[in-house]
């Protein structure tokens, strides 16, 4: 292994010093592996007053064993925020990361969250380790929120629920379960999908393929292509579905289309796997946003559902979510839960308690629960207003006759603009609008006051950049 020696020699300034400490206290630095040599007068690092002595240090500088580790590319979503921070232009807009902002574009902590945290302080609750499966009160509340407290799958104890590290961690638990107990099974993922889905299944060594979803010609759902690709999937495959507010397109199937999707999955003996990241935040209704999941459960199908509370309660950094598996029997659910716990143990041992208590307090208290629903309606309403204003601005400013109505047909915090990579680059380079390169923008980072500016940027990029 290549190395170099760095030697430092220091001499005392005492006139009566022996040969080893003679001369004044001086240091000479030599890097023997190169021709560089430095001399520094009167370096007195270790001596104080009249103390004397000679100090010699040799440090080996070795070539790193990690020289073969390449630099990883920047995350395509989180990297947008880093670029945004470096931009000094006053007009800049960060429409990359999906995090709710106020009309003033400030982060928002829900009032109901503050109240729930105050309750925790008043009770003087401790910070002891949770069980591997998480906080029992949270697990009960989150499953009931997803399915409805009176749902047969809840009453018959057919749901295996474990608290996960938000949506990402919950999806990762499920991926490990698939890899271990369904070896070789493929997961079908929509094209496009949330950028981290592929990373999660790759990391768990679960094979995946894509099914058609987005139609660039209509900036809408390619329903026929979606159905055809699901029908062609091998028996036993998992089909990853977005419960509501599809990320990144904002395009959801209609209730009638959901019925058809359920028909095909059931007929082909496939396994539905839902990612529910926006319950209550998409439409403002907890029940409406869970209707797709409840449809599949009502048909007696075994279903996997990952949940997240990052968006609907604004608990982004608390990493609070859950993995639910609906099974055909209570016995099967108990066995699945035991294996999810077994997978979680070597990954992270047990989940964090703070966010779980917030959710349990909010959902478990009727007053706080109603306040939460009102705040969600407010947040969803602000995004709907911004979406409407953006459409109005695009329609009034663009004289080409282009139909921008697809903006209004989308739902949730994201909008697929239909812009390609070059056009998205123009949005950033010329207009200081930061977004992902697939043309997705987060309306949560947009204010009513900025809609006209954004419309100008979109129109210019769409018409003037190929």
Instruction: Give catalytic residue positions.
Output: 194, 275, 311
What tokens were used for 235? 């028996």
C-alpha 306/C-alpha 238 separation (Å) is 14
Tell me the backbone φ, ψ of residue 440, rounded to 5 degrees. -85, 135
C-alpha 355/C-alpha 368 separation (Å) is 15
Q: Is the dihedral of CA 210, 233, 410, 446 positive or negative?
A: negative
What tokens were used for 335? 């066995």
C-alpha 373/C-alpha 278 separation (Å) is 13
SS3 content of the chain, % helix, strand, coil (to 5): 40, 20, 40
Q: Would you state the torsion angle of the CA atoms of residues 404, 406, 408, 411, taken in this order, to the nearest 10 degrees?
A: -150
What tokens were used for 157? 């104890």
Number of H helices, E strands in the chain: 16, 17
Report H helices in 398-437: 406-409, 421-429
Query: Do residues 303 and 336 make contact, with C-beta atoms less than 8 angstroms apart?
Result: no
């Amino acid at each position: 292994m290549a190395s170099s020696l760095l030697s430092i020699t220091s001499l005392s300034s005492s006139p009566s010093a022996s040969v080893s400490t003679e001369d004044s206290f001086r240091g000479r630095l030599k890097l023997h592996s190169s021709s560089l040599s430095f001399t520094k007068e009167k370096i007195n690092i270790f001596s104080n007053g009249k103390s004397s002595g000679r100090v010699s240090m040799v440090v080996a500088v070795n070539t790193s064993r990690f020289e073969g580790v390449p630099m990883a590319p920047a995350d395509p979503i989180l990297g947008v925020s880093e670029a945004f921070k470096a931009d000094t232009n006053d007009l800049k807009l960060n429409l990359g990361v999906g995090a709710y902002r106020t009309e003033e574009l400030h982060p928002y902590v829900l009032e109901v969250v503050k109240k729930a945290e105050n309750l925790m302080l008043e009770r003087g609750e401790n910070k002891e380790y949770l069980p591997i499966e998480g906080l029992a009160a949270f697990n009960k509340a989150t499953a009931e929120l997803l399915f409805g407290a009176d749902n047969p799958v809840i009453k018959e104890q057919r749901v295996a629920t474990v608290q996960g590290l938000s949506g990402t961690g919950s999806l990762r638990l499920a991926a490990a379960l698939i890899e271990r107990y369904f070896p070789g099974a493929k997961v079908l993922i929509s094209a496009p999908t949330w950028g981290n889905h592929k990373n999660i299944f790759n990391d768990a060594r679960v094979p995946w393929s894509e099914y058609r979803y987005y139609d660039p010609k209509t900036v809408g759902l390619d329903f026929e292509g979606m159905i055809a690709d699901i029908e062609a999937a091998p028996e036993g495959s998992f089909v990853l579905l977005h419960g509501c507010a599809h990320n990144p397109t904002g395009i959801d199937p209609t209730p009638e289309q959901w019925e058809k999707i359920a028909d095909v999955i059931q007929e082909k003996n496939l396994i539905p796997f839902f990612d529910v990241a926006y319950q209550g935040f998409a439409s403002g209704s907890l029940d409406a946003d869970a209707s797709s999941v409840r449809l599949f459960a009502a048909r007696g199908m075994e279903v996997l559902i990952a949940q997240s509370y990052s968006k609907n309660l604004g608990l982004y950094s608390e990493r609070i979510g859950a993995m639910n598996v609906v099974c055909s029997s209570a016995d099967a659910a108990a066995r699945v839960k035991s294996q999810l716990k077994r997978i979680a143990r070597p990954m992270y041992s047990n989940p964090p308690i703070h966010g779980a208590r917030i959710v349990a307090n909010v959902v478990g208290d009727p007053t706080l629960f109603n306040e939460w629903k009102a705040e969600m309606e407010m947040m969803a309403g602000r995004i709907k207003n911004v979406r409407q204003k953006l459409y109005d601005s695009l329609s009034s400013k663009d004289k080409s006759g282009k139909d921008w109505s697809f903006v209004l047909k989308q739902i949730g915090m994201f909008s697929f603009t239909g812009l390609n990579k070059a056009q998205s680059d123009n949005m950033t380079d010329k207009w200081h609008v930061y977004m992902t390169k697939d043309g997705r923008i987060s309306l949560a980072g947009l204010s009513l006051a900025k809609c006209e500016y954004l419309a100008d940027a979109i129109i210019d990029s769409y018409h003037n950049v190929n």
